Amino acid sequence: MIFSGIVKSSLIDYPGKIATVLFVPGCNYNCFYCHNRKLIEEITDILDPNEIDAFLEKRQGLIDSIVISGGEPTLYDDLPELFRKIKSLGYLTKLDSNGSNPQMIKKLIEEGFVDYFAIDYKAPSSQYSLYCGEECDPSKVLETINILHSSQCPFEVRTTVIPQLTLDNLIQMCQELPKIPRYVLNPYRKPLHYLKEHEGLINATPYSEKEIKEFSEIIKLYQEHVVLMF
Ligand code: SF4
């Protein structure tokens, strides 16, 4: 595995725990609102693996958990090995994923070295490619979420409420999903870097926190455990 970014201490990336977040470069999606565009477009500034190892050893007992994020971590075949190693150091572990690789998620569940999964569900399945690129296959994302739903593994599903999603879209998404133990709604924030071709999508007016709260009250009829992240 290679890493091109690190947040050494975070209170928002693992529910209730202090986390270090490691970011892998590369992604198989192209979400117009991606906040890690530099990570998905070019593999530069790779962190020294020896420094990462030293950091993980030094912070044992000070940091509760290590979150592997990106980019898309499931593109790396040695992801299970990484989790095995982090777990052996005594950390809780979490994976952030776009859900595109159900086979990898199945393997990680079977091996048992990931304590918590966060999977994005980005749009109604019929609209996924409009916002995340032609390569997206929402059926794979739903397969991933259904695998987690059938397992004993703690997980959450996350949706960024982009301006293009209507209340009806959010209801539809809730109906496409199985019952989720924690369904997180994130507000849309315009990214610093984006593609020229995405300018129209990027500059749409975001929903206010009040509007998202109102949406959440309605979609609780379909997904009980909605959490707002603002
Ligand atoms: S899946 Fe995540 S990392 Fe990949 S393009 Fe979308 S927002 Fe960016």
What is the rounded CA–CA span in Å between residue 178 and residue 27?
26
Determine the residue of 29, 120, 158, 162 to mutate for testing ligand 1's pocket, defined as the one with the most ligand atoms within 8 A of the Cβ atom: 29
What is the rounded CA–CA span in Å between residue 39 and residue 55?
21
pLDDT reported for residue 39: 81
**For 59-97, what is each residue's pLDDT tens digit?**
999 999 999 999 999 999 999 999 999 999 999 999 999
What is the rounded CA–CA span in Å between residue 123 and residue 170?
8
**DSSP labels for 84-110?**
HHHHHTT-EEEEEE-S--HHHHHHHHH
**Residues whose CB falls within 8 Å of the CB of residue 168, separated by 6 or more in sequence, listed in order:** none
pLDDT in tens, the chain (230 residues): 999 999 999 999 999 999 999 999 999 999 999 998 888 887 778 999 999 999 999 999 999 999 999 999 999 999 999 999 999 999 999 999 999 999 999 999 999 999 999 999 999 999 999 999 998 999 999 999 999 999 989 999 999 999 999 999 999 999 999 999 999 999 999 999 999 999 999 999 999 999 999 999 999 999 999 999 98
pLDDT reported for residue 219: 98
**Residues whose CB falls within 8 Å of the CB of residue 57, separated by 6 or more in sequence, listed in order:** 89
Determine the residue of 24, 31, 129 to mutate for testing ligand 1's pocket, defined as the one with the most ligand atoms within 8 A of the Cβ atom: 31
**Relative to the CA of 71, which ligand 1 atom is closest?**
3
